[in-house]
Amino acid sequence: MGNPDIPTQAGDSVHVVVTLGLDELKTGIGHACLDLVGDISATDARILACDCKVIPVTLGSHGEPLDVGRAQRLATPAQRRALAIRDGGCAFPGCDAPPQQCTAHHIVFWAHHGETRIDNLVLLCGKHHRLIHNSDWEVRIASDGYPEFIPPAFIDPARAPRRNTMHTTRT
Ligand SMILES: [Zn+2]
Ligand SMILES: [Zn+2]
């Protein structure tokens, strides 16, 4: 699962409010104040904000609220169903986690103007969602509309894209 504090049953996540600086939000460094669980790292806040009903209150340098997030950042139940059909579960190569154990990751993070559209979303289990946010693994949607993952150079110097074949016979 993703964050154990966040129920994701039926694709409906809990409403939480995150307060952190804009620079922290963009870089994933520093701390955020989270109503529900107290202090968490900004990286954790980014992961929560990726799929949950998070209301980000972005603060300027003087602590003034700059921006309150919008609902369309969230994957809708219909989008989650479409993702479950497309990805079959966690899309990370070699992972067999089913859709119920996954959250919808924004390939281009919404704070970087990424849109909540199927071609900007990919299903990931909690472990691989964390890996994508915290490592040099990259994910993109290939020209055929399916997600593929690019390993860090230390795993594959050629950085050849990989796909998950656990959920489908598609290659
Ligand atoms: Zn994410
Ligand atoms: Zn996974």
Q: Is pLDDT of 144 > 80?
A: yes
For the four alpha carbons of 74, 100, 148 and 44, in that order, the dihedral sign comes to positive
Q: Is pLDDT of 68 > 80?
A: no
**How close is the Cα of 111 to the center of ligand 1, in Å?**
11
Mean per-residue pLDDT for 3-22?
A: 50
What domains sit in the chain, N to C, each tagged with a CATH number?
Answer: 9-71 (no CATH), 75-150 (1.10.30)
In the prediction, which pLDDT does 81 show? 83
CA 110 / ligand 1 centre spacing (Å): 10
pLDDT category at 167 given cuts 50, 70, 90 is confident
Q: Name the residues around ion ligand 1, CB cutoff 5 A.
A: 50, 105
pLDDT tops 70 at residue 33: no
Per-residue pLDDT band at 90 (split at 50, 70, 90): very high
Distance in Å, CA 125 to ligand 2 centroid: 4
